[in-house]
Chain A
Amino acid sequence: MAKKMKLIINGKRLDGRNPLELRNISIKLGVIKNADGSAYIEWGKNKIIASAFGPKEALPKHLADPHRAVLRCVYMMAPFCSLEEHGKIGFTRRSVEISKLLKEALSDIVLLDMFPNTIIDVYVNVLQADGSTRVASLTAASLALLNAGLPLKGLIAAVSGGKADNTLIIDLGKEEDNYGQADMPIAYNSNGDIILFQADGLLTKEEIEKLLDYTNEAAKKIFEIERNAIYETYGKEMKKTLRM
């Protein structure tokens, strides 16, 4: 966060958005034929793909939970996802933490006790990154589970809040993520309860309260976008192939 950069000029953000404006979100379900469920999301310039497999036999046997399905989630960034240098291949400390948070959030909406002694695997890959990848990834992962026919309590809407140039903003782009003053990724379930929540940077209690309201509003829009994408998907034939 050392570099100084003007992120908001005359009330507009670098990409021309207003502080509380969402980027363009486009969703496709069923993009990988061999997976039980899959989803591809373009969120601003983010390009994220997720696939879900399950319920599967729990192997090795010691992994099985007799009361509910075991949900596993892995989040990874492709080494070519950044505009800058080639990145690391494989796990990083950051991707391991995000994997854990995604798994915990997904566990809230998946009705795991309907499938005891099984495993459900979700894999999310960021093919192109442009800020707020973890919330976009969570959205993609939840839709992959939906496409797999796994029973869910509802949908997830995830979005980031934050602060840049002393202005509260939502849906942080890459520069705002890297050079802004604060970053607050958050995810809501259909009841409006918070199932993923982090904050990083100096924020007052009042600012957090406002961001909770702003992100909640944004979540409503995101739920709507997801619903429309699902209606559109199931209104026509499903050729499971990726179109980017």
Chain B
Amino acid sequence: MKIYLPGDLIKDDVKANKVAIRSENGKTYACVVGTVKDGFFKPFELAYIPSVNDKIIGIVYEKKARIAFVDTGTAFNGILQLTNEVNIEQGSIIMARVMKIEDDNNLLLTDVKTLKKENAMLIFIHPSKIARIIGKEGSMLSLIKEKTQCQILIGLNGYIVIYGKNVKNVIKAINFIVERAHLENLTNQVSSLLSKGG
């Protein structure tokens, strides 16, 4: 499997997340370390930039009369217009969709849902590893949920909320994946890890 380094020419036609590749004089170059698979450039590491329609999880850190500010754990803060529904307070953990990315890096959020905090644990991982936690068509996430019997909500920004009695095994699996996000064949390994763990 060919590993591309920043500055390497990518000969195939590829799609990629923004900032992972760039074009110059009709040629495509990698900007970060990664590989090409199925027509996609897959970065091993990637600094975070959100996209419109991304589902994110955040914490409300400030609430004014009709607007709330949300921490996403990244350089991009969320902004929520408050209407009558949804009980949002300072400290609320919310799930929302990115509607627009402003020039000043604020994210206008919509479709907001307040997450309950009972029996919840909130963790943060680097957003570039979130895709492997979800897996192809959600397969990795399903595996973890099944083996641990926990409910798991994923924000593409890196925040993850876990409900259930087996939180420590979910976190163990997540840490395992984060250390190997650039490698293949993780689903089997995670399955073994969760099968033996107590």
Q: How far apart sit A109 and B103, CA to CA, in the bound complex (Å)? A: 24
A149-B128, A230-B3, A234-B3 as given contacts; A55 in contact with B179, CB under 8 Å: no
Query: Is B147 close to A, CB under 8 A?
Result: no
With a cutoff of 8 Å between Cβ atoms, the chain B residues found around residue A114 in the complex are 18-19, 49
Q: How far is the CA of A234 from the CA of B5 in the complex (A)?
A: 11
Within 8 A of A (CB), among B16-45: 18-20, 22, 29, 31-33, 43-45
> Contacting B31 at CB < 8 Å: which of A36, A64, A152?
A152
A57–B75 CB distance below 8 A:
yes
Query: Is A54 in contact with B5, judged by CB distance below 8 angstroms?
Result: no
Instruction: Determine the distance from Cα of A37 to Cα of B180 in the docked complex, in whole angstroms.
Output: 15
Judging by beta carbons under 8 Å apart, are A155 and B5 in contact? yes
Task: Count chain A residues whose beta carbon lies closer than 8 angstroms to a beta carbon of B.
Answer: 36
Is B77 part of the contact surface with A, judged by Cβ < 8 Å? yes
Within 8 A of A (CB), among B165-194: 179-180, 182-183
A57–B49 Cα distance when bound, in Å, is 12
Residues in A with CB closer than 8 Å to B103 are 66, 116-117
Are the C-beta atoms of A152 and B7 separated by less than 8 Å? Answer: yes
* Complex CA distance for A37 and B46, rounded to whole angstroms: 10
Which of A5-13, A196-204, A235-243 sits within the interface?
Answer: A235-243
A146 with B45: CB separation less than 8 A: yes
Cβ contacts under 8 Å, B43 to chain A: 149
Q: Does A220 contact B (CB under 8 A)?
A: no
A153 touches B7 (CB 8 A): yes
Query: Which single member of B32, B75, B180 contacts A149 (CB below 8 Å)?
Result: B32
Decide yes or no whether B137 CB sits under 8 A from chain A: no
B163 contacts chain A at the CB level, 8 A cutoff: no
| A114–B6 alpha-carbon span in the complex (Å) | 15
Pick from B5, B49, B105: contact of A230, CB below 8 A.
B5
Measuring CB to CB, which residues of chain B are less than 8 angstroms from any residue of chain A? Answer: 3, 5-7, 18-20, 22, 29, 31-33, 43-49, 75-77, 103-105, 126, 128, 179-180, 182-183
With A109-B6, A151-B31, A238-B179 given, name 10 new contacts (CB 8 A).
A36-B126, A55-B48, A116-B105, A146-B5, A146-B6, A148-B47, A149-B33, A149-B45, A153-B31, A155-B5
| Chain A residues packing against B (C-beta within 8 Å) | 36-37, 54-58, 64, 66, 109, 111, 114-118, 146-155, 190, 227, 230-231, 234, 236-240
Name 7 A/B residue pairs within 8 A (Cβ), A-sorted: A55-B75, A109-B6, A117-B75, A149-B126, A154-B7, A234-B182, A237-B183
